[in-house]
Amino acid sequence: MDHFMPIIYWHDRKGLLSVDLHHETRNGKYRLATASVQKEVRVWEFEFEMGLDPKTQENKPQLTVGFLANLVFHNHAINQVKFSPSKEHELLASGDCEGRITIWKLSDQPVPPPQDEMPSNKENWIRYKVLNHNSDVNALCWDPSGTQLASVSNDHTLAVHDALTGKRLFVASNFRSPNGVCWDPSGKYIATMSPDRKMDLIDAVRGARLKHFSSALLPSMTIPSANGDLHLETKIHKLFHDDQLFSFQRALGFSPNGEFIAAPCAHLELGSSDLYGTYFFRREDLGVKEAPYTFYPAPRPTFLVKFSPVTFSLLPSTKENHLGLPYRLLWIALNKDAIYFYDSQHSYPVAVVDNIHLNALTDASFSHDGRVLVVSSLEGFCSFVKINLTQWGEVMTEIVPVCGSPNLIEEKKQKKRKSTVAVVIEKEKEKEEDAAKSPMRKPSETPKVSTPKAAGTPLTKFFKKENNTESPTPPVKKRIQLVTLDN
């Protein structure tokens, strides 16, 4: 791996809060979106070119960065920015501290002239839709198709919108300032994390809360740590760190095929010792148990997990296969000072990038080909980690099948509706039973049993009754008398 940190004031020396890489390259160049405590979103392009290193006089890759666009509309700090994965629609979403979400669309219209001291834009990103929360927007994520956007906010809600129409599809409430959200690659679930030590699983179609994870019965085990081996007792443990954790976000994530959910901010209190790390929850276990499938310890609390989109073959030289997969995943876990690289065959970090910034790390993003990792910091600079995939193993070209999903929603059986006559009879019986049990009735009194009237339609009063036993009263004959008048 090679590390690059160009001396570029990405947002005029302001602290960076979010970075995201586009899902494809254009003319061999990557595109990058950045956001900061400043009010603008900026789009860049970069590439690696071979050149002579002035220090070592060796031919090495050199990083070149170019400016593409400055997007102005927000009035407050922008917490997160995300490119849509859709190849049909060129969309970009940004959320700020005012509760505003702006969806930008790349236009083929001519670029308007600059209105400030910034250089002229090379791409014309127009304001396409504006969505709103009642408080800060903490995190964003797109669905696999790139047409629906999920957002979590300090107004204690998760909202899902159709990005093409701006229509709000559903809102799930009763969270506690959620600051992490991710969408299942198969489109079935949305997972969120909150500072109240909870991870929630949401139905991505109806918005129903399916399950939450906060504490679990963990088995007895010995976990290695920087301070020596720690013994975990068999009891119910709280899984996640509380709101005292210094982290801007709790960015959990699904593995590329959705088989695992990786949740950061793991915190186990073991007497006078604290154990930090990242949990992995297996998809097929979500409906059966609340305990994580495995735990990856770290020296300090992690707050972000990102998976590489590239899948590798198993290493034949390594007998260990920690997750038991027929392939090998690569991912990173971020804390405020370091980047930890993991793969699915090992139970410990296989690489560490440490002490690259003077201030806390804030966000990270993999390129679509897995060759570049970009990391932002409050220092105001970005780090670029160029990954040599051949050093990690053989890249798998075949598509990894998506695993099945547990049934987390039980279908309710519909009760048979009773007829109107049966309902009337039941109500009459209940009245008689209540009257018989009444403490105000004397023991000698016996309740009268009345036969319930048959229910009928109001039209029955218009029909004559048949089989009447009483004889009808004969009609009285009227006598007519002729009276004549004499002259």
> In this predicted structure, what is the pLDDT of residue 51?
80
> In this predicted structure, what is the pLDDT of residue 318?
86
Report CA-CA distances (Å) from 164 to 85, 134, 169, 416: 14, 22, 12, 42
When pLDDT is cut at 50, 70 and 90, the band that residue 441 belongs to is very low
β-pair partners for 280:
262, 294
* Cα angle, residue 387 at apex, residues 37 and 16 outer, rounded to 5°: 5
> In this predicted structure, what is the pLDDT of residue 419?
54
Edge-first strand order for the sheet with 372-377 is 2-4, 382-386, 372-377, 361-366
> In this predicted structure, what is the pLDDT of residue 422?
60
**132 pLDDT above the threshold of 80:** yes
Please state the rounded mean pLDDT for residues 400-417: 59
Please state the rounded mean pLDDT for residues 260-286: 91
Q: Tell me if residue 354 falls in helix, strand or coil.
A: strand
Q: Of 51-60, 143-152, 250-259, 443-452, which range is least confident? A: 443-452
User: Taking the domains of the chain in order of start, what are their residue ranges?
Assistant: 2-399+478-482
Exposed / middle / buried, residue 132 (Cβ in 10 Å: 0-12, 13-18, 19+)? middle
Transcribe 109-175 into DSSP letters: SPPPPPSSSSPPPSSEEEEEEEEE-SS-EEEEEE-TTSSEEEEEETTS-EEEEETTT--EEEEE---
Percent of the chain topping pLDDT 70: 82
Please state the rounded mean pLDDT for residues 224-232: 72
**135 pLDDT above the threshold of 90:** yes
Q: Of 110-114, 229-233, 291-295, 473-477, which range is least confident? A: 473-477
pLDDT single digits (tens) 175-222: 888 999 999 999 999 999 999 999 999 999 999 999 999 999 888 877
> In this predicted structure, what is the pLDDT of residue 219?
83
Residue in 344, 343, 387 with CA at minimum distance from that of residue 364: 387
| Dihedral (CA of 204, 209, 210, 212) sign | positive
C-alpha 139/C-alpha 183 separation (Å) is 12
| Dihedral (CA of 267, 283, 187, 159) sign | negative
C-alpha 358/C-alpha 352 separation (Å) is 17
145 and 183 Cβ atoms separated by less than 8 Å:
no
Q: Say how many Å lie between the first and final Cα of the chain, rounded.
A: 143
Please state the rounded mean pLDDT for residues 79-105: 96
Q: Which residues contact 386 (CB under 8 A, 6 or more apart)?
A: 1, 2, 3, 4, 48, 61, 371, 372
**103 pLDDT above the threshold of 70:** yes
When pLDDT is cut at 50, 70 and 90, the band that residue 330 belongs to is very high
Mean per-residue pLDDT over the chain, rounded: 85
> In this predicted structure, what is the pLDDT of residue 437?
47
C-alpha 147/C-alpha 162 separation (Å) is 6
Q: Torsion angle of alpha carbons 161, 166, 170, 175, nearest 10°?
A: 60
Please state the rounded mean pLDDT for residues 85-109: 95
**378 pLDDT above the threshold of 70:** yes
When pLDDT is cut at 50, 70 and 90, the band that residue 239 belongs to is very high
> In this predicted structure, what is the pLDDT of residue 401?
67
> In this predicted structure, what is the pLDDT of residue 369?
94
Q: Of 112-121, 293-302, 353-362, which range is least confident? A: 112-121
User: Which residue in the block uniquely carries the two structure tokens 């509760």?
Assistant: 99
Please state the rounded mean pLDDT for residues 335-355: 93
> In this predicted structure, what is the pLDDT of residue 487?
45
Alpha carbon 56 to its chain centroid, in Å, reads 47
pLDDT single digits (tens) 446-470: 444 444 444 444 444 433 444 444 4
Q: What beta strand segments (E) does 188-289 contain? A: 189-194, 198-203, 209-213, 215-218, 221-223, 230-232, 235-238, 253-254, 260-270, 273-282
| 31 phi and psi angles, rounded to 5 deg | -115, 140
Q: Kindly tell me the number of DSSP H helices and DSSP E strands found in the chain.
A: 2, 32
CATH of 2-399+478-482, one of 2.60.40.10, 3.30.380.10, 2.130.10.10, 3.10.129.10: 2.130.10.10
Please state the rounded mean pLDDT for residues 355-366: 94
> In this predicted structure, what is the pLDDT of residue 227?
64
Q: Of 50-54, 69-73, 469-473, which range is least confident? A: 469-473
* Diameter of the chain measured on Cα atoms: 157
